[in-house]
Structure 1
Amino acid sequence: MADFVSMTEQLTRDYGYSLLLLLVAAGFIKLINLRSLTQSKHYRFRNQILVIVLVLLAGLGLVLTLPLDSGTRGQLLTLMGLVFTAVLTLSSPTVAANAMAGFMIRSENKFSPGDFIQVNEYFGRVTEQGLFQTEIQTEDRDLLSVPNLFISSHPVKVVHADGTVVSAEVTLGYDVDHHLIEAMLLQAATDANLEEPFVYVMDLGDYSVKYRVAGFLKQVKHLLSSRSMLRKKMMDRLHEQNIEIVSPAFMNQRQINSDVIPQRSFVIPDNPAEIGPESLIFDKAERAQQLNELKESYNELKLELKAMDSGNEPDTDALKSRKLRRLKALKRAIAVLDTAQTEG
């Protein structure tokens, strides 16, 4: 019995700190995994980073706390460095490279959840940014996971959140005065609720002239609907002036009807207040953007309350009470959106 007690004490002295370190690291990793089940995917990047850092620190701490002589400890640290370097080198085309690309993308902060981005042929709104991949919601409402290495190695087009330019091109013949065409295209852009419209002559071809009409759109959430609306208005305005949108290079022997401009069989009034399909197509991206904005407002309000606590200005109790109520409301809204994102 005495031998067992002495052996236990010896093991505790030699390996107690190491075992404690392993238990603490395992407990933290388990806690992070449990919280990930209830949190939204917005926290995935942070949780992945925490797990990786904990594993590295636990391995380093284990080498430092084991009862080893200085020479052996130095060799183990060297071996760990070599293994870490080998992992980065051998896995560079896949896991490690995507992780490093994820760090770079997050540090640059060029886009955030809810933004429209285009990478090569992939276009959509960002729903979440992870350590290894970025998820976007496409025009078909599908979710597309793009590796971070692919994003970092290709040009990324980000639609400015404060507004963007919506444009469309049309090819018309030389027999139509370009002044008339420019006036009609400008009117079409105005009818499509675009601000500060302008028209460019893009090309003088052998048989036709290419025009480009564009205008500024403030509400980028309605980007797809605005693109479609602009083209509809272009057809309406050009057809009103009996301008055919047919290339002169096109040869058609008309046997019955000499007109190619369709006549309206019935008139449907335009409804500029009609809600576009973006709210259905980009529902997850919309929630991700709202969640990101709410969290920014929540953090700003917490800083304001902290500044009020440190100051001694009079008549701040009522203002502080209102800010506290708003803080609680923001917290509830964040919880609701977190749940919706997790279920979605």
Structure 2
Amino acid sequence: MALLTDLLGPMRDLAIVIATVALASGLLWVADRWLIQRRAHKARHRPLRQLTMIFFSLTALVAVVLSLPMDADVKKELLGLMGIVLTGIIAFSSTTFIANIMAGLMLRSVESFSPGDFIQAGDYFGKVTERGLFHTEIQSEDRDLVTLPNLFLAANPVKVVRSSGTAVSCDLSLGYDVPHQQVEDLLKEAALRAELEDPFVQILTLGDFSITYRAAGFYRNVQHLLSKRSALRAAILDELHGAGIEIVSPTFMNQRKLPDGRKFIPGVRATGARAKEASAIFPETLLFDKANRAQRMEMLESKRVEIQQALKDWPGDADPESPEARAEQKRLQTQLTISESLLAREKEKEPQ
């Protein structure tokens, strides 16, 4: 009987430890899945989810230590050691670890940009794909993913392209032999040809050998910003070459013997259906696929939450039995089903 008791004691202690580990793991998994389902696609809530999971993990670790078959004094010493190690880790990494967390929280409170926005910080330009507790991820013009520490974004100016529209511009230099009135008219025409609104031209500098101009116009659909910049440059080339204006450096030198009056302007090719078809292809769809997906999910989730709130407030002051209130409820439920279906479909489209 004493032998059985000696065997059952350690087994009971081991069972308690195993049960505690299993329960803690299960609760962490449930909490993670619940937070992911509710807030993972909302980028601004991701830091809160990460902080919550860190807190739950530390709590689970303490529970496992308390369940170990040890003396109370040993458990206290072990918990004290864990506290010292944790404090040391935070102290040694505070310059980056804590600083990035604080910078991430600051960026969330400011809300200067969100997934899908074009931003430029230092030499980095791209479209925001993800905002985390420690870093922000952007997708560059080459479709590559660039991870920027939140501390870097907090310490450097961040230029955000407004979703309501931005100015698309192009700078170029021409010689003093070309009248600036003619250049300004041609550049404005090029901006209109590139389908920019309210075009304008600025004279930036009067150099020793050339004048620097800037042609610009307003563009509303910032999703195709790169394509529109290229279209403006192409239109400028066509307009200036069509008017017989050379776009070469004033110090241009060519040692080949050429006829007098030879101008260095390529022959103008007729633009047909193939050119129009090429202009309708937007490379941003491929280059910023992950950022576009994050933006769509953000919009779909916002719409879903809005519809859920409307259903929660239904019928308001109206009679719930009236045909109008019933029709409104049915419409909201249909929109909610569609939004959830589209959101689930976007989650399945994980970019490679």
TM-score bracket relative to the smaller structure: 0.7 to 0.9
| CA apart distance, 1:252 | 3.1
Structure 2 CA distance for partners of 1:179 and 1:272, relative to 1, 3 Å: farther
1:326 paired residue among 332, 335, 339:
335
| CA apart distance, 1:132 | 2.1
- C-alpha distance after superposition, 1:88-110 (max 9, x if no partner): 32112443333333222223222
2:161 paired residue among 159, 166, 173:
159
Of residues 260-269 and 204-213 in structure 1, the stretch that sits farther from structure 2 once superposed is 260-269
1:26 maps to: 25
2:311 paired residue among 305, 308, 311:
305
Q: Secondary structure at the match of 1:333?
A: helix
Contact kept, 8 Å, 2:315 with 2:325, in 1: the verdict is no
Runs of at least 5 residues in structure 2 that lack an aligned partner in the other structure: 69-73
Q: Secondary structure at the match of 1:125?
A: strand
Contact kept, 8 Å, 2:293 with 2:346, in 1: the verdict is yes
Of residues 94-103 and 234-243 in structure 1, the stretch that sits farther from structure 2 once superposed is 94-103
Q: State how 1:23-62 maps to structure 2 within 5 Å.
A: 24-32=23-31, 42=41, 45-58=47-60
Structure 2 CA distance for partners of 1:41 and 1:283, relative to 1, 3 Å: farther
Structure 2 CA distance for partners of 1:58 and 1:40, relative to 1, 3 Å: closer
Q: Which amino acid aligns with 1:263?
A: G
Contact kept, 8 Å, 1:295 with 1:334, in 2: the verdict is yes
TM-score by length of 1: 0.82
| CA apart distance, 1:146 | 2.1
1:317 and 2:326 correspond: yes
Q: State how 1:231-250 maps to structure 2 within 5 Å.
A: 231-250=233-252
2:138 maps to: 136
Q: Secondary structure at the match of 1:172?
A: strand
Runs of at least 5 residues in structure 1 that lack an aligned partner in the other structure: 67-71
2:71 maps to: none
1:188 maps to: 190
- C-alpha distance after superposition, 1:38-79 (max 9, x if no partner): 99974784542221121344567889999xxxxx99999998
Alpha-carbon distance in structure 2 between the residues aligned to 1:153 and 1:60: 36
Quick one: higher RCO (CA 8 Å, sep 6+), 1 or 2? 1
Alpha-carbon distance in structure 1 between the residues aligned to 2:94 and 2:325: 56
2:281 maps to: 275
Structure 2 CA distance for partners of 1:21 and 1:164, relative to 1, 3 Å: farther
Q: Which amino acid aligns with 1:304?
A: A
Alpha-carbon distance in structure 2 between the residues aligned to 1:202 and 1:144: 33
Q: Secondary structure at the match of 2:205?
A: strand
Alpha-carbon distance in structure 1 between the residues aligned to 2:269 and 2:312: 66
1:252 paired residue among 248, 251, 254:
254
CA RMSD of aligned residues (A): 3.9
Contact kept, 8 Å, 2:188 with 2:215, in 1: the verdict is yes
Alpha-carbon distance in structure 1 between the residues aligned to 2:141 and 2:84: 46
2:91 maps to: 89
Of residues 330-339 and 21-30 in structure 1, the stretch that sits farther from structure 2 once superposed is 21-30
2:104 maps to: 102
1:264 and 2:268 correspond: yes
Q: Secondary structure at the match of 2:218?
A: strand
Contact kept, 8 Å, 2:134 with 2:149, in 1: the verdict is yes
Contact kept, 8 Å, 1:29 with 1:51, in 2: the verdict is yes
Alpha-carbon distance in structure 2 between the residues aligned to 1:311 and 1:19: 55
Contact kept, 8 Å, 2:169 with 2:217, in 1: the verdict is yes
Q: Which amino acid aligns with 1:306?
A: K
TM-score by length of 2: 0.81
Structure 2 CA distance for partners of 1:311 and 1:34, relative to 1, 3 Å: same
Contact kept, 8 Å, 1:174 with 1:209, in 2: the verdict is yes
| CA apart distance, 1:253 | 4.2
Alpha-carbon distance in structure 1 between the residues aligned to 2:326 and 2:40: 37
Alpha-carbon distance in structure 1 between the residues aligned to 2:185 and 2:94: 55
- C-alpha distance after superposition, 1:191-219 (max 9, x if no partner): 11111111111000111110011111100
